[in-house]
Chains A and B, each alone.
Chain A
Amino acid sequence: MAYKILIVEDSSTARKVIKKTIGLSGLPVAEILQAENGKKALEVLNDSWVDLILTDLNMPEMSGMELVDHLKGDEFLNSIPVVIVSTEGSQERIDQLNQKGICGFLRKPFQPEQIKEIINNILGE
């Protein structure tokens, strides 16, 4: 099965790097959608279903934390697995995110093997 993944990142460079890294990981990917903040991500999710969301935390208009809150409060979208991709290193904040129901945390900079492992753990090989 090939995955449909949504990348939520305000940096166009970071979006391209994540997309490239997913490509290098060898994961079967059907389509990669992109949004520059949480608000735009919700607009994308209005039109498209995705298997997984990879989101940054620190973004203008709507942060990754706010996006997670929106998703978890939505009866349709709350089942989509969310992985945080961030430079965040505070264990307390990661614990807060885990309590909100995120499925994984990937700290920048990361290697293709790390993203492959985390996605395979969530979606199954």
Chain B
Amino acid sequence: MGPTIVQIEELFVRILENQGFLFGELIDSDEVESGVESAIRVQIEFTSDTEKGSISLIAPHSVACEIAAGMLGLDPEDIEDENEAIDSFKELVNVTGGNLITEAWGAEKIFDLSIPTSTTIDNAEWVKVLKTEGVLCFLVEDEPLLFSLSLNS
């Protein structure tokens, strides 16, 4: 039994606010634009004796810049280094993953977390993820962010 949508929503919105001073809200996938040129996907994998899965966050580059700026206390325009935006986005999935697995499965269970990875995806892949059942859509500073949890227990 993994985390509920309400658990994911509450935790992710809280972490966005605490880490990046950003406001996020869960929205319907129909409200998300499909015309994103490219996006960054950051992913963390988790493993325990009974559970195995991954959490991915996918968002346009501009959202990663907003996240980096919020975490570092800068303006988004000041994030000139793409690696800085990606590194911040990876840290966000790291904090989200670590907190979510504890909230969902409890502090009694030991999980191993991978080091977060990142890839760039094109529009076709964005649309595919957007249409995947179970993917949650958040609006962060008026831009879309997709949250995907994959479980292979």
Residues on A lying within 8 angstroms of B by beta carbon are 10-14, 16-17, 20, 58-60, 86-93, 107-109
Contact = CB atoms under 8 A, between A and B. Distances in A.
A11 B111 CA distance: 20
B17 to A, nearest CB: 9
A90 B91 contact: no
Secondary structure at chain B's binding surface: helix, strand, loop or mixed? Answer: helix
B98 A10 contact: no
B124 interface: no
B98 A92 contact: no
A92 B110 CA distance: 7
Interface residues of B, number: 28
Contact of A91 (B72, B90, B107): B107
Interface of B: 15, 18-19, 68, 71-73, 84, 87-88, 90-91, 94-95, 97-99, 101-103, 107-111, 113-115
Contacts of B19: 17, 109
Contact of A93 (B94, B110, B114): B110
A58 B91 contact: no
B88 A13 contact: yes
A60 B73 CA distance: 27
Contacts of A17: 19, 71-72, 91
